[in-house]
């Protein structure tokens, strides 16, 4: 390493994190990220993936991916605007638009990238963005990138949103004003109050932007939070990820044709970063096809979610107010939370602890993600272990 300053910076900061117990050690998964995973040779019931429907390891997606890879190769070869747009990308975008009931859709390399792409393509320093204080990190970064004035509002507090929208409009300082929210909040599993948000948006002429990473494939028969509330006509930007319920990787924006046309000429990750692989595009199309023709996987996911929630609640754990499969088990104290998670892993359940700054201080939790791929036996075994560790630590 040549720079002494860099060396010092890294040493000091890494030491500091390690001293405070905040240095995250990554344990590689030795095989597929299914309902049971292997880590360090040990089989663990997996309650930490975002593989809601089990599609990440679904044979049908694997076959579609393999066939497309045979036909097109492993890479798209270029960015979308040069010659990296393969016909399979266009087909995927058509399918996404159809699935979302919008005029058009545009695919990106990840959900994170959607927020890097879409916000700054439309908003600039003469604009303002009203942003829920619990919005995902990629929304926060996307807002910053746009240079618009960021006005946070209290989490799902519609009075606060209305007041701040009114102030922003009245100030006359801004050309455009956007309201931006997660569809489903990933740490608590609560759903954004979209009907009220849309009403406030209509009152103050706000652009509406919903990042539905955790709602797509989960709510509204899989079509997402916006569909769940019947608001497909009223939301300007619907962001989805192809990396969670859809099981592969990538993201998309669905909306009016004009908006998508604009993103195709002005959003930087579309212009300057290579397109998703053909295998990924094919796997995602297969996933959408499965979701469009059957609700079996969703039903299984919801059934498993209810079962796990009920079980944890009966054991006496605080599982918060989730309205989706996301099931936090709130412990409170950060150290206790870490120990709880470690003990669960030792006993055979992989459920990762989540503490400050990801969630507020004193609300440390272990977050559970039941999926369609879990069997009742797996969930019973997980509950048995929860009971054992909970009693041992005097949490229940």
Ligand X SMILES: *Cc1c(COP(=O)(O)O)cnc(C)c1O
Question: For binding to ligand X (CB under 6 A), which residues are involved?
Answer: 110-112, 136, 138, 182, 186, 211, 213-214, 241, 243, 251
Spatial CA neighbour of 128 closest among 196, 199, 206, 209? 206
What is the C-alpha separation between 122 and 111, in angstroms, rounded? 17
Q: Closer to ligand X at the Cβ: 135 or 300?
A: 135
CB-wise, 281 or 379, nearer to ligand X? 281
Q: Catalytic: 244?
A: yes
Q: Which of 249/379 has CB closer to ligand X?
A: 249
Q: Which two tokens stand for residue 85?
A: 């747009």
Nearer to ligand X, 215 or 278 (CB): 215
Question: Which residue reads 């039941």 in tokens?
Answer: 370
Q: How far is the CB of 280 from ligand X (least distance, A)?
A: 11
Neighbours of 321 (CB within 10 A): 8
Give CA angle at 80 (78, 86), nearest 5°: 85
C-alpha radius of gyration, the chain, whole number: 22
Q: Tokens at residue 193, please?
A: 């109050």
Shortest gap between Cβ of 141 and ligand X (angstroms)?
10
Cis peptide bond upstream of 189, omega within 30 = no
- To ligand X, the closest distance from the beta carbon of 213 in angstroms equals 3
Of 164, 214, 227, 309, which is the active-site residue?
Answer: 214
Q: For residue 379, what are its two tokens? A: 């969930």
Report the nearest approach of ligand X to the CB of residue 316 (Å).
29
C-beta nearest to ligand X: residue? 111
Cα distance between residue 105 and residue 87, in whole Å: 14
Q: Out of 244, 286, 309, 374, which one is annotated catalytic?
A: 244
Min dist. Cβ of residue 186 to ligand X (A): 5
Q: Is 193 a catalytic residue?
A: no
In whole angstroms, how far apart are CA 236 and each of 119, 207, 245, 253?
Answer: 12, 6, 22, 10
C-alpha span between 286 and 121 (Å, rounded)? 30
Q: Is 214 a catalytic residue?
A: yes
- Pairing of β 207-211 and β 237-241: parallel
Question: Measured from the CB atom, is 189 or 370 closer to ligand X?
Answer: 189
Active site residues: 186, 214, 244
């Amino acid at each position: 390493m040549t720079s002494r300053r860099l060396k010092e910076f890294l040493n000091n900061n890494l030491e500091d994190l390690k001293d405070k117990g905040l240095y995250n050690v990554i344990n590689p998964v030795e095989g597929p990220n299914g309902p049971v995973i292997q880590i360090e040779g040990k089989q663990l019931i997996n309650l930490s993936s975002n593989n809601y429907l089990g599609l990440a390891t679904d044979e049908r997606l694997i076959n579609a991916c393999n066939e497309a890879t045979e036909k097109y190769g492993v890479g798209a070869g270029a960015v979308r605007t040069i010659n990296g747009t393969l016909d399979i990308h266009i087909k995927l975008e058509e399918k996404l638009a159809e699935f979302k009931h919008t005029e058009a859709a545009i695919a990106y390399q990840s959900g994170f990238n959607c927020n890097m792409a879409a916000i700054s393509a439309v908003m600039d320093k003469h604009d303002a963005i009203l942003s829920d204080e619990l919005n995902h990190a990629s929304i926060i970064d996307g807002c910053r990138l746009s240079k618009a004035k960021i006005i946070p509002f209290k989490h799902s507090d519609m009075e606060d949103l209305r007041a701040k929208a009114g102030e922003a409009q009245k100030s006359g300082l801004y050309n455009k004003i956007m309201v931006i929210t997660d569809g489903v909040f990933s740490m608590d599993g609560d759903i954004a109050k979209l009907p009220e948000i849309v009403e406030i948006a209509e009152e103050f002429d706000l652009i509406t932007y919903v990042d539905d990473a955790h709602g797509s494939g989960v709510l509204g028969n899989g079509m997402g939070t916006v569909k769940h509330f019947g608001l497909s006509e009223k939301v300007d930007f619907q962001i989805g990820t192809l990396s969670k319920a859809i099981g592969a990787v990538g993201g998309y924006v669905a909306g009016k044709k004009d908006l998508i046309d604009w993103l195709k000429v002005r959003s930087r990750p579309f212009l300057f970063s290579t397109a998703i692989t053909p295998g990924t595009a094919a796997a995602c199309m297969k996933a959408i096809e499965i979701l469009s023709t059957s609700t079996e996987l969703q039903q299984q996911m919801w059934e498993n979610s209810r079962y796990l929630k009920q079980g944890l609640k009966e054991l006496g754990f605080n599982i918060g107010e989730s309205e989706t499969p996301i099931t936090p088990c709130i412990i409170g104290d950060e150290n206790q939370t870490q120990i709880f998670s470690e003990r669960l892993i030792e006993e055979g359940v992989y459920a990762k602890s989540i503490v400050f700054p990801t969630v507020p201080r004193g609300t440390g939790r272990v977050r559970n993600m039941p999926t369609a791929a879990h069997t009742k036996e797996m969930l019973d075994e997980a509950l048995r272990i929860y009971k054992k560790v909970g009693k041992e630590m005097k949490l229940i």
